[in-house]
A and B are shown apart, each in its own frame.
Chain A
Amino acid sequence: MALEREKHLAERSLLTLTETELQDMYRMMVLIRRFEDKVAEMYMRGKITGFCHLYAGEEAVAVGAIRALYDKDYVVSTYREHGHCLAKGASPKRVMAELFGKATGVSRGRGGSMHLFDAELRFMGGYAIVGGGLPLAAGLGLSIQYKEEPEIVCCFFGDGAIPQGAFHETLNLASLWKLPVVFICENNFYGMGTLTQRAICQQELYRFAQPYNIPGVRVDGMDVLEVYAATVEAAAHAREGHGPYLIEAVTYRFRGHSMSDPAEYRSKREERIWQERDPIKRFRRRLIERRISAATLDQIDREVDAEIEEAVRFADESPDPDVSEVTKYVYVDA
């Protein structure tokens, strides 16, 4: 799937990242998985409503990529963005509170699952129009270039965005103007229920970089180190003024498109094959090979569980937004 070079870079990352960094990456992947499992439970209990798209199975992409960024780099995401928001450093309490629609949520209860935002962390939003975030990422890249700042933008989107005009327009413009944007396509093989083979003329999505005259690579999106290593390279390329970069991370969502989708268009066998490639289990095995003890990792698991329980408690106890403020934030007050 991925090229030999990417595998090699991943192996090297295992050696160059410190033990603490590796543990942090593991912790974040487990945090996202447990968070999403809890969200599913809360959805079933009616605490969370509306559309809700879970990230379970794809953790290696968000964690690997965002670990390769600097704190002040921007992240732009989609409606399947809980993982990206958490990986950028958002408080699980405030993200859970947003899903509960509470005033303490990251978007003050106005956004919900699909519209998380954290200005301080430069997590620049989840957008629920497929491909909608790409032009915004180009614009943020333009603002960086214009002000001659050292940051870059990391823009996540799914395979479903590839056939959108916004993808092609944005790659053309970003390449033309050499904007510092790393585009990361999370190819999970399905745009809702439609297999990419039935929607896109080219199955190796990273090849869409070539007509736009920018580098493109495919990585194993179930391998956090491979995503990390590729993003380190892409980020350096963008930061040094060479323009955008396209990464295709091949991954799989362990649940349906949204909470209302039982994913009957996928076979059980297919799901089992991908479950066996679970990015968290694989990373855990490699960390143990790297002599991080199972006990240490178990301890992380327990800490994460407690953190998630605390997030749910916080969300549940938080107040709803004040209904008298329903028209607040339509306009910026003069």
Chain B
Amino acid sequence: MAQMSYREALNLALREEMDRDERVFIMGEEVGYFGGAFKVTDGLLAIFGEKRVRDTPISELTLVGAGVGAAMGGLRPIVELMTVNFGLLAMDQIVNHAAKIHYMFGGQAKVPLVIRAPQGGGHQLGAQHSQSLEAYFLHCPGLRVAIPAMPADAKGLLKTAIRDENPVVFLEHESLYSVKGEVPEDEDYLVPFGKANILRPGSDATIVSYSKCVHDALKAAEELEERGIDVEVIDLRTLNPLDIDTVVESVKKTGAVVVVYEGWRTGGAGAEIASRIYEAAFDSLDAPIERVASLDVPMPYNRYLEAAALPKVEDIVRAVERVV
């Protein structure tokens, strides 16, 4: 174990996997000489050279499409989108191509591609640079969606993603890059997909979350503990596959659920998670499920407006108090 940041953990995963497998390479805007817009790929160019750390033009559609083609040709590409917002330009290649190629050709082709994308708000970057779009990818069969909250999971999930035979959308939160934690240095440290992590056991209520909101949920749980409410916090870690079993087990114990996520409230991942809980554990619930999410607005620039649009620790505390 070593103390390192979420950013360093991702960098380590990339380095280890590129060392392990010659077929793994990374391409994207500014991943080479610049070291990555968020410095995730810092130092990789010096180690692996221009062939395997490829700066690209600003052509998201073709960048992702070339990743799909390279994967079909037997390589294991990692495409970094500078942010998920720019990934919208590549949706045709992600949804119409990457996600469907294995199925529509009857299993003959596979697309072992990782699309990494930072996302999330909180830095006053305005409407076009602050989105959390995991629901778009979660909606589409054929894609895997990994969305780590902790440095150790950032490493272990990224390594799993690179070794997976399917296209994986790997969503990193921009606010988490400097968050530190204990990370295993073992080169075979893999975090399996579809396995949620119970970060804090509790008996009164369950908070289900992922990505940056997990950290808010843990803070809320501490506050609630002082008020005598014992909260269980679950980090889903991947949205597809979704480990609903771990969530349902928890709900059967607590009878109360709050789902916390940074995407827009309407049609967000929380709606799917809540539905799955209702289907599997309706009789265990003592109160309707609460969702804490972003307001349905394009992200405003002003700091007070932005704070009002994003989910906050106190929103989670109040929601838990309503369901217990």
Contacts and interface: CB of A to CB of B under 8 A. Distances in A.
A123 to B, nearest CB: 10
A140 B103 contact: no
A107 B108 CA distance: 8
A334 B194 CA distance: 13
B275 interface: no
Contact of B70 (A119, A146, A332): A146
Interface stretch (B30-38, B93-101, B249-257): B93-101
Contacts of A135: 61-66, 68-69, 93
A115 interface: yes
A283 to B, nearest CB: 32
Interface stretch (B72-80, B211-219, B293-301): B72-80
A172 B70 CA distance: 17
B104 A111 contact: yes
A329 B72 contact: no
A324 to B, nearest CB: 15
Interface stretch (B51-59, B130-138, B227-235): B51-59
Interface string A119-132: 10000110101001
Contacts of B70: 139-140, 142-143, 146
Interface of A: 74, 76, 105-111, 115, 117-119, 124-125, 127, 129, 132, 134-144, 146-147, 165-166, 169-170, 172-173, 176, 328-332, 334
Main secondary structure of the interface of A (DSSP, over half): mixed
Interface string B43-55: 0000000010000
Contacts, number: 142
Nearest to A138: B66
A105 to B, nearest CB: 8
B92 A125 contact: no
Contacts of A170: 62, 65-66
Given A111-B106, A169-B62, A331 B166 contact: yes
B66 A142 contact: yes
B104 A139 contact: no
Nearest to A74: B73
Contacts of B74: 143, 147
Contacts of B270: none
B110 interface: yes
B67 A329 contact: no
Contact of B105 (A74, A111, A140, A332): A111
23 contacts: A107-B104, A107-B105, A108-B107, A117-B109, A119-B109, A125-B101, A135-B63, A135-B65, A138-B62, A139-B70, A139-B71, A139-B73, A142-B70, A143-B69, A169-B62, A170-B65, A172-B57, A173-B56, A329-B107, A330-B103, A330-B141, A332-B110, A334-B165
Interface of B: 25, 51, 56-57, 59, 61-75, 77, 92-93, 96-97, 101-110, 112, 141-142, 144, 164-166
Contacts of B96: 127, 129, 132
Nearest to A144: B73
Nearest to B98: A136
Contacts of B110: 332
A-B pairs, 6 with minimum CB distance: A139-B69, A135-B65, A143-B73, A108-B106, A117-B105, A169-B62
A60 B74 CA distance: 31
A20 B91 CA distance: 47
A125 B105 contact: yes
A136 B65 CA distance: 5
Contacts of B68: 135-136, 139
B69 A115 contact: no
Contacts of A144: 73
Contacts of A110: 103-106
A109 B74 CA distance: 25
Contacts of B101: 125
Contact of B65 (A117, A166, A329, A330): A166
Given A107-B105, A117-B105, A142 B59 contact: no
Nearest to B65: A135
A241 to B, nearest CB: 14
B154 to A, nearest CB: 21
A227 B30 CA distance: 40
B92 A132 contact: yes
Contacts of B105: 107, 110-111, 115, 117, 119, 125
